Structures are given as C-alpha cells and as structure tokens.
Chains A and B, each alone.
Chain A
Amino acid sequence: DIQMTQSPSTLSASVGDRVTITCRASQNINYWLAWYQQKPGKAPKLLIYEASNLESGVPSRFSGSGSGTEFTLTISSLRPDDCATYYCLRYNTYPWTFGQGTRVEIK
C-alpha cells in the first residue's frame, strides 16, 4: 500500500498565524489528495479535494497545494474555530489511506 506521512503530529499557534500541515506519499499519487477537519465527537469534514480545490462552503483561509508526493494544507490566518485535528486522504488507488492526523491548538 501507498503510505501517507503527515507532519507535524501537533501544532500550536496563535490566532492570526499562518499554519501549514504537510502530507507526503510514499509514491506518486498525482493530485488525488483530500484534506479533512475533525472536531471532537464529530465526523471528518471535507475541506479540500484534488489537492487544491476548496469544497463548497469552506472558508477561503483554507487552501491546499502540491502534487505527486508532497502536499500542504495552509490556514492563512488561524481562528479559534480552527482548533481541530486535520487528516489527509489519498484516493488514487484502493485501498484509500489516511494520514495520521495533525492536532492544531491555539497558544
């Protein structure tokens, strides 16, 4: 299986900071990568699909970039409501696999 390595595992930042989370694939997955936000007790929520496409209704401070094996999720200006765990998902071939998650906290 293609492995996804997500970093960092935890991130602490201040309100207004620019935050970047990285996902690396063990093989080329082109642009078949999505990003999800999960809050405690809730299901993951789709933020970004095909590496850089913003899902409808998601705030524009979220953006995604990358292709091939390296991808990033950026929050341009962190807000308190962004406290959550973020996961990447690669979906180029089956079985689909998720990254280990990045917990984002406010300093």
Chain B
Amino acid sequence: QVQLQESGPGLVKPSETLSLTCIVSGDSISNYYWSWIRQFPVEGLEWIGFIHYTGTTNYNPSLKSRVTISIDTSTNQFSLKLTSVTAADTAVYYCARMKGVLDVWGQGTTVTVSS
C-alpha cells in the first residue's frame, strides 16, 4: 500500500524560500508522476505542479516563476521549493501520486508565512 508523507518547516518568513519533501513508501517513485497541491485556509485547492522520475516537470503558470519540483530516485522522495513567499502562500501543502488522476495523497503539512 503506497503511502506519502510530507515534511518541512511549519513556519517560513516572508520573502524566504519554502522547502518541503515528500517521502514515498510502498511503491517505486519511478513508476508514476508525482504532484504537489495546496489548500488555502478557506478551503480552495490549487494544483502546483508535477514531476516524473525522468525530470519532466509541469508547473501551474500562477506559480511558475517561483516554484521548483525535484526528485531523488535513490531515496524515493520528491521535493518542492517555492521562493519569495508571502502571507498568501500560507496553506496546507499536500503531495500526491498521479495515477491518471491524483489517487493517493499524503496527510498534508501546514505552512504559515509570517515574520
């Protein structure tokens, strides 16, 4: 049974870089595409982007200039970096497997942007 677990700082200062990691267990990260999604405090969900083990990525244009998703097949994990954060980036961040659709999600990690 595949499981995903997000990790990273829960508090980030404005203008700094948000960095999160998703550890995948129970499945090889090379088998699928993998996504990051975030959910704002008032329930809206936003797809951030995806990565494949080949390094192929696709990002939401709303974030494209600030986001980087990377992958490490040796440790079966992938990561998210979001630069120049503001309070508007405060959200719960989820990682998920893309098996056609987003079929398995991590439990989510809350990131607050505040000084």
Residue numbers of A with Cβ under 8 A of B are 1, 34, 42-46, 49-50, 55, 85, 87, 89, 91, 94-98, 100-101
Contacts and interface: CB of A to CB of B under 8 A. Distances in A.
Interface residues of B, number: 20
A93 to B, nearest CB: 10
Interface of B: 43-47, 58-62, 94, 100-108
A100 B94 CA distance: 17
Contacts of A42: 107
A85 B43 contact: yes
Nearest to A100: B44
Contacts of A100: 43-44
A95 B105 contact: no
Given A43-B106, A43-B107, A43-B108, A98 B47 contact: yes
